[in-house]
Amino acid sequence: MTYRIAVIPGDGTGPEQVREGLKVLEAVAQLEGFKYETVVYDFGGERYLRTGETLPDSAIEELKQFHAIYLGAIGHPDVKPGILEKGILLRLRFELDQYINLRPVKLYPGVETPLKDKGPEDIDFVVVRENTEGLYCGAGGFLRRGTKDEVALQISINTYKGVERCVRYAFEYCRKRNKKKKVTLCGKTNVLTYAFDLWERVFHAVGEEYPDITRDYAHVDAICMWMVKNPEWFDVIVTDNMFGDIITDLGAIIQGGLGIAAGANINPQGVSMFEPIGGSAPKYAGKNQINPLAAILALAMLLEHLGEERAAARIERAVQEVCSKHLKSLAAGRMGYTTSEVGDLVVRYLDLK
């Protein structure tokens, strides 16, 4: 079988990051003996500025034909915020029904965390973020726009089916992960008394089917505090789209920064998409200074999803080696190596195992 992978390098530093990921893919495919082909799509800010088009309608159907999508970053300084995000990134997540955004928060040995007295044994959990509902639906509108009596509404949509499939995924994932066997619901039941009432009921109803897993609840504001103070308490955190967006940036920082934070947009029945979560970082575009490790770890998640677990493990080990033996910092421009040199280093350590 030949894996078909769609590649969307995207904007800013996206192409540089993806280039290193593809370098690693080529090397690991050789070592593990699997075959793949890639098709590159130029969706992003440049194309939009040239043609006025974000995603052609045909793209969605075309992308459904792939085994996976590998994405760099979407976001361009010359395009008004929201156009590319909604027109490309969120549209892909929604139309491909990638209802899970899986974001591991894992501190690798040798990586510096801003958390005092915390190490790799303390920072190792996963956020399961609902990815197709909530405040991200775009439901809402203005009343009396442009007047002093203006009202802006932004509605969070939470459906039983949407919440249920997300919560179930979290419990299944927790069981498979087999670590602390604990799922924490991150909500705000004291204020968002409709949305999180539903979440809480579904969480316990589904959780009853998993007697081997401990159920835990915390408000989102408290979670932010505990993530800093006691990250070792967490195993799997499940939450809605907006809270998941926010707490995973916090997660990224405690695991060493956006330079190493990867995520997966998953449709277990369809095509999934893998990306570094850091964005397009236009300031560093074209400078060969961005850290490609997040994109390389996103590639590892992609391969694991395809069932190439050994390849994924090789990449993770290699990234660990590069972090502990080489990089001065994970921040762009301060690594002590260029983007392409970091990619080369990862390739060099792939046959450790």
Residues annotated as catalytic are 136, 188, 221, 245, 249
Residue placing its CB nearer to ligand IPM in the complex, 46 or 85? 85
Minimum CB separation of residue 253 from ligand IPM in Å reads 13
Residue placing its CB nearer to ligand IPM in the complex, 20 or 245? 245
Minimum CB separation of residue 249 from Mn ion in Å reads 6
Minimum CB separation of residue 124 from Mn ion in Å reads 21
Q: Which of 32, 46, 85, 341 binds ligand IPM (CB under 6 A)?
A: 85
Q: Quick one: which segment of 15-23, 82-90, 112-120, 284-292 binds ligand IPM (CB under 6 A)? A: 82-90
Residue 95 is a binding residue for ligand IPM (CB under 6 A): no
Residue placing its CB nearer to ligand IPM in the complex, 79 or 90? 90
Residue 89 is a binding residue for ligand IPM (CB under 6 A): yes
Q: Tell me how far apart the alpha carbons of residues 186 and 248 are, in angstroms, rounded to a whole number.
A: 12
Q: Return the CA Rg of the chain.
A: 20
Residue nearest Mn ion, Cβ-based? 245
Residue 277 is a binding residue for ligand IPM (CB under 6 A): yes
Residue nearest ligand IPM, Cβ-based? 85
**Among Mn ion, ligand IPM, none, partner that 89 touches (CB below 5 to 8 angstroms by kind):** ligand IPM
Q: Quick one: which segment of 48-56, 83-91, 150-158, 342-350 binds ligand IPM (CB under 6 A)? A: 83-91
Minimum CB separation of residue 251 from ligand IPM in Å reads 11
Name the residues that contact ligand IPM, by CB under 6 A.
Answer: 85, 89-90, 245, 277
